[in-house]
Structure 1
């Protein structure tokens, strides 16, 4: 979560936490010698370390986020369980693949109409975990044992734009897969936090990319 802070806010907070206590100590004439300054500096560093460790505990971070109205200046609170609707371009890719093999009618993805099958929606359970120094997303599609877990998540909020998550993930399927699929692949995505509380955006993968069968699509994530 800390990466969601823009530089100016982060610098302001660091200055306030480090120089603020020092200014107070000098103001009340508590620090009089270099030895006093060294002693209190060590105490301040220890205190700040304890604060960071405490805020890495999700309930404590949630409390601070809540009382400081962090949703307005920091980033929306995303911890919890969600439901996703995933729309992939795989049906179109598959039609091209089957047509190229001669197993299906000729198909032009640029001009031929999109069928109902091409609009297939996959549901998935989503779990988002929030810490001070990290964000983790896990996605499990319905009716499968596949699991996508994020290797990297970067929250950002460049106002007046919407809060945004950029992420890279790895999906693993422990079961046998079709020749056109792979048991493990990587992907990436970008989703925005919408006014209605949804996360909405796009993703793309390297799934069978060496064979030109890699996929992309859209994803909408709604809180349970």
Structure 2
């Protein structure tokens, strides 16, 4: 998550740590008390990188955490319900039409209605630290096509043109059920936006390269909704 701080802050912190090492060593004749103060500041900075510490301060339920989530980037740690809406029915209809198993389908003809997206429900966990954001997804149903999905690279963004806070990531996916022409593993990318009006909701688009050599790779929309914890329910405002 360090990427959201920007180069100026990162360079400033790195510069301070480098200078503080020299100061603590006493090369500039500083008093012992001054060196202790510098060492304490360094300890606070380093301890703040530990997950339990920064998550306690950055907690989305407290006033400080809410301010940091709004101004810098939210704490996304937790369990999520995921809904994928895939354009596979459109791809399949074109394939069926090419084999004359279905009526002619022209995706560029706006007067001809396209099939509804295919809906798949998953569960996910997001593990967020100062140095990494990892997203893992698994199916809810035991007979689901998707076996697992995990991120390879995740980049948080908070300085976009729309001022939205976003996640851009690459993922690796493995399916439980595969056709003879299918790939054992394939890769994809996604760009999801954190909804400022609904805490814990992220949505955007994804696409993958599954069976791209045969032109049947798909894309779609993804929505993640954080599951409410007991503490979250207790702090929700009353609607009565």
TM-score norm. by structure 1 comes to 0.79
Superposed, which structure 2 residues align to 1:25-174 within 5 Å? Answer: 32-33=28-29, 48=42, 51-52=45-46, 54-66=47-59, 67=64, 69-111=67-109, 112-115=112-115, 118-143=116-141, 144=144, 146-158=147-159, 161-173=163-175
Q: Once the 2 structures are TM-superposed, how far is the Cα of residue 63 of structure 1 from its aligned partner?
A: 2.0
Partner of residue 3, structure 2: 3
Following superposition, which runs of at least 4 residues in structure 1 exceed 6 angstroms of deviation?
Answer: 20-23
Tell me the alpha carbon deviations over residues 163-204 of structure 1, each in whole angstroms, 9 at most, x when there is no partner.
11010000012x341246433110001011112121111011
Assess, with a 3 A threshold, how the Cα gap between structure 1 residues 179 and 100 changes in structure 2: closer, same or farther.
Answer: farther
For structure 2, which runs of at least 5 residues remain unmatched after alignment?
228-240
Aligned residues: 210
Partner of residue 207, structure 1: 210
* Matched position secondary structure for 2:58: helix
Does structure 1 retain, via aligned residues, the 8 Å contact 2:88–2:117? no
TM-score norm. by structure 2 comes to 0.75
Assess, with a 3 A threshold, how the Cα gap between structure 1 residues 32 and 161 changes in structure 2: closer, same or farther.
Answer: closer
Does structure 1 retain, via aligned residues, the 8 Å contact 2:88–2:118? no
* Matched position secondary structure for 1:167: strand
Q: Once the 2 structures are TM-superposed, how far is the Cα of residue 20 of structure 1 from its aligned partner?
A: 6.9
Of stretches 81-90 and 57-66 in structure 1, the one that deviates more from structure 2 is 57-66
Of stretches 9-18 and 58-67 in structure 1, the one that deviates more from structure 2 is 9-18
Assess, with a 3 A threshold, how the Cα gap between structure 1 residues 12 and 74 changes in structure 2: closer, same or farther.
Answer: farther
Q: Once the 2 structures are TM-superposed, how far is the Cα of residue 48 of structure 1 from its aligned partner?
A: 4.5
Q: Which one of the candidate residues 204, 216, 219 is aligned to 2:219?
A: 216
Work out the CA distance in 1 between the residues paired with 2:104 and 2:91. 13
Work out the CA distance in 1 between the residues paired with 2:28 and 2:118. 72
Q: Once the 2 structures are TM-superposed, how far is the Cα of residue 97 of structure 1 from its aligned partner?
A: 1.0
Q: Which has the higher contact order (CA 8 A, sep 6+)?
A: 1
Tell me the alpha carbon deviations over residues 30-51 of structure 1, each in whole angstroms, 9 at most, x when there is no partner.
76549x99xx6xx95x985895
Work out the CA distance in 1 between the residues paired with 2:28 and 2:14. 24
Work out the CA distance in 1 between the residues paired with 2:29 and 2:132. 40
For structure 1, which runs of at least 5 residues remain unmatched after alignment?
none
Q: Once the 2 structures are TM-superposed, how far is the Cα of residue 4 of structure 1 from its aligned partner?
A: 1.8
